Structure 1
Amino acid sequence: MATNNTDKALAEIMKKLRERSAQSLETESDASEKKAEYDCPVCRDELGYLEKKDGIEVWVRCKCVEWRRIRKLMNSSDITAEFEKLQFKNFVTEGKSELIIEAYDCAVDYYKDFEDIRDKRRNSIALLGQPGSGKTHLLTAISNKLIKSKNIPVQYFPYVEGFNDLKDDFEKLEEKLRRMKEVDVLFIDDLFKPLNGKPRATDWQVEQTYSVINYRYLNHKPIMISSEWNIEQLVKIDEALGTRIYEMCEDYIVIIEGDRMLLNHRLASLRKDQ
Structure 2
Amino acid sequence: MEELKNRVAIQSQGDKSVVYEQGKGRYQCQKCQDQTGFIEKQNGLEVWVRCECVIHRRVQKLMKASEITEEFKKLGFRSFVTDEKPQIIKDSYETALEYFQAFKTIKDQRQNSIALLGQPGSGKTHLLTAISNNLINKLQVSVLYFPYVEGFNDLKDDFDQLESKLERMKNVDVLFIDDLFKPVTVQTNSGRIKKPRATEWQLEQMYAVINYRYLNHKPILVSSELTVDEIVDIDEALGTRIYQMCQEFIVLIKGDRKQLNHRLVGS
TM-score (norm 2): 0.85
- 1:141 correspondence with 2:130: yes
Q: Show the counterpart of 2:167.
A: 178
Q: Does 1:217 align with 2:193?
A: no
Say whether 1:236 aligns with 2:225. no
Instruction: Using the aligned pairs only, state the percent identity.
Output: 61
The residue that corresponds to 1:99 in the other structure is 88
Q: Distance in 1 between matches of 2:63 and 2:114?
A: 21
Equivalent residue number for residue 178 of structure 2: 189
Secondary structure, aligned partner of 1:192: coil
**Alpha-carbon shift at residue 214 of structure 1 (Å):** 1.0
CA–CA distance in structure 2, aligned partners of residues 53 and 212 of structure 1 = 49
Spell out, residue by residue over 1:112-149, the C-alpha distance to the aligned partner (whole angstroms, 9 max, x if none): 22222222222111000111100011111111122222
Query: How many equivalent pairs are there?
Result: 246
Instruction: Tell me how far apart the structure 2 counterparts of residues 121 and 51 of structure 1 sit (CA, whole Å).
Output: 44
CA distance in 1, matches of 2:47, 2:239: 56
Distance 1:220 1:146 in 2: 17
Backbone CA RMSD of aligned residues: 1.9
In 2, Cα distance between equivalents of 1:195 and 1:253 = 24
- Give the match's secondary structure for 1:42: coil
**1:267 match: secondary structure:** coil
- The answer for unaligned runs of 5 or more in structure 1 is 1-23
Provide the residue aligned with 2:202 in structure 1: 205
| 2:247 matched residue in structure 1 | 250
Consecutive unaligned residues of structure 2, counting only runs of 5 or more, are: 10-18, 186-193
Which amino acid in 1 is paired with 2:54?
V
- The one-letter code matched in structure 1 to 2:53 is C
Distance in 2, matches of 1:64 and 1:75, equals 16
Alignment partner of 2:71: what SS?
helix
Decide which structure has the larger Cα Rg and report it. Answer: 1
TM-score normalised according to structure 1 size: 0.83
Q: Does the alignment pair 1:262 with 2:259?
A: yes
* Aligned match for 1:35, one of 20, 25, 33: 20
Q: Secondary structure at the match of 1:59?
A: strand
Deviates more, 1:133-142 or 1:215-224: 215-224
Amino acid at match of 2:258: M
Partner of 1:11: none
Task: Give the whole-Å Cα distance in 1 for the aligned partners of 2:159 and 2:32.
Answer: 42
Measured after TM superposition, the shift of residue 56 of structure 1 is 5.8
The answer for the alignment partner of 1:227 in structure 2 is 224
**Counterparts in 2 of 1:58 and 1:247: CA distance versus 1, 3 Å:** closer
Write the letter of the residue equivalent to 1:215.
Y
Distance in 2 between residues matched to 1:53 and 1:251, nearest whole Å: 47
Give me the whole-angstrom Cα distance separating, in 2, the residues matched to 1:41 and 1:115.
33
Match of 2:12 in 1: none
Matching of residue 75 in structure 1 with residue 72 in structure 2: no
